[in-house]
Chains A and B, each alone.
Chain A
Amino acid sequence: MSLTTMILKMSEGLGKTCAIFFLTLLFSLPLGMIVALLRMSRNKIISSVTRFFINILRGTPLMLQLLAVTYGPYYLFGISVSRNKLIPVVIAFAINYAAYFAEIYRGGIESIPAGQYEAAEVLGYSKTQTFLRIILPQVVKRIMPSVTNEVVTLVKDTSLAFTVSYQEMFTIGKQIANSQTSFVPFVVAGVFYYLFNLIVDRVMGLIEKRLNYYK
């Protein structure tokens, strides 16, 4: 198989790779905020239960979570594995990344000085106004570098979908590598991920620049 054929075949999986990437961000970024708020709840039970789940999601391999979400329903309840594996893959990714984002958000929220809340309170901001107008914008700016880190990791993590044979770019590459007994597809995959992350880096850099109007 020629290099061009390999690249073309693998490119066919790029759409699915992007689907995992964008859908994961779409769901995990807001979900992470909900988890962060639960984690910071004054209710001890809510915060410790949330903490427990965060620890499980961060403490076990994403690969394992992918297998659990994809095949778990079959082994537990006899529900047949859905033909569209995108759904379980995105569920597993979104939950896993939400756990990481939650901790990043929590760190960001807790880094905002108490004086910001106090000023807002005395000036008559409601709790919601304080969070949305005063706290959140400052949190977003502070956590951008950490979020960029996660997003870069996510690009590479999409390759884990091969464990459930979801036909994204890396899974196809791996199949070609096996059938052709060639290492070349892995090199191609590496180049793909590198280029993808080059774009991610540019975009995140632009957002950070946008937020640089204040210190």
Chain B
Amino acid sequence: MSEIKKSGSADVTPILEIRGLQKSFGELSVLKDISLSVDPGNVLSIIGPSGSGKSTLLRCASFLETANGGDILYDGKYAFKDGEYAGKAELNQFRTLFGMVFQNFNLFPHYSVMKNICEPPVLRGQDKEKVRARAEELLKKMGLEGKEDAYPYQLSGGQQQRVAIARALALEPEILYFDEPTSALDPELTGEVLKVIRQLADDHMTMVVVTHEMAFARAVSNRVIFMDGGFIIEEGHPEEVFGNPQQERTRRFLSNYTQ
């Protein structure tokens, strides 16, 4: 990445800001006090062991899980304040700001590739022809030309995930979330998906990526967060976090990845 923008600097409003977020499943506290912000054009990677709360964090930010305390702001506006969510209509408005790419793709199996991508924006009232043109363009960008009429089961995992990315992008979100986008893929297919995400980063798409791909996180992101046990243990520029981790826990975690 070319330039490092400092998160939370005064002159830009972060697209996503999270303050003191808490989430527990019954007795089990999964997120204990999470604060972070993502500025426009930045890529934030979240790494950490399984069960550290990375995915739950994304799921809270996208309203798929109900957080128990803290604040979530989009473009400086409260979607979740002191443990209270905004109204239903407002949340729907906020939902237009982010897109989500899931570990298991979650494409609609009974829809063709084209319908998977086009139906959500069309249901939101956008012009059919324009949406279709945008979808064609996205498919080209994803290296999926000629797959318009294919059904998800006819595609490889890597292709399915690229369709899922195109589907999220077709709604023109301000920020895109990736929840372990390559964890369900074998190494060969992982590469093609990471390449696409890297391309998006080069186009200054704002993204939060939960991942186990350390080399990728290091190369693509502006900031890296290491999470463990529901806390942010370490945060910084990828070169700092990967090259010179300050916390013992981070060092131990990263040592699993050095061959």
Contact = CB atoms under 8 A, between A and B. Distances in A.
Contact of B95 (A113, A116, A122, A129): A122
Contact of B110 (A115, A119, A129, A138): A138
A124 B106 contact: no
A122 B99 contact: yes
B108 A119 contact: yes
Nearest to B108: A134
Contacts of A122: 62, 64, 95, 98-100
A137 B64 contact: no
Interface residues of A, number: 20
Interface centre among A118, A122, A125 (most CB of B within 10 A): A122
B106 A214 contact: no
A120 B111 CA distance: 13
A110 interface: no
Given A138-B109, A214-B153, A119 B102 contact: yes
A197 B95 CA distance: 50
A133 B111 CA distance: 10
Contact of B152 (A134, A141, A214): A214
Given A129-B123, A133-B119, A124 B110 contact: no
B151 A213 contact: yes
Interface string A135-166: 00110010000000000000000000000000
A12 interface: no
Contact of A124 (B108, B123, B153): B123
B56 to A, nearest CB: 13
Contacts of B109: 138, 214-215
A115 B119 contact: no
Contact of B123 (A115, A116, A125, A214): A125
A124 B147 CA distance: 24
Interface in B29-74: 62-64
B61 to A, nearest CB: 11
Contacts of A215: 109, 151, 153
Nearest to A118: B64
B102 A124 contact: no
Contacts of A141: 110
Contacts of A138: 109-110
Interface of A: 113, 115-116, 118-125, 129, 133-134, 137-138, 141, 213-215
21 contacts: A113-B106, A115-B104, A115-B106, A121-B63, A121-B64, A121-B95, A122-B62, A122-B64, A122-B95, A122-B98, A124-B120, A124-B123, A124-B171, A125-B120, A125-B123, A129-B123, A134-B108, A213-B151, A214-B110, A214-B152, A215-B153
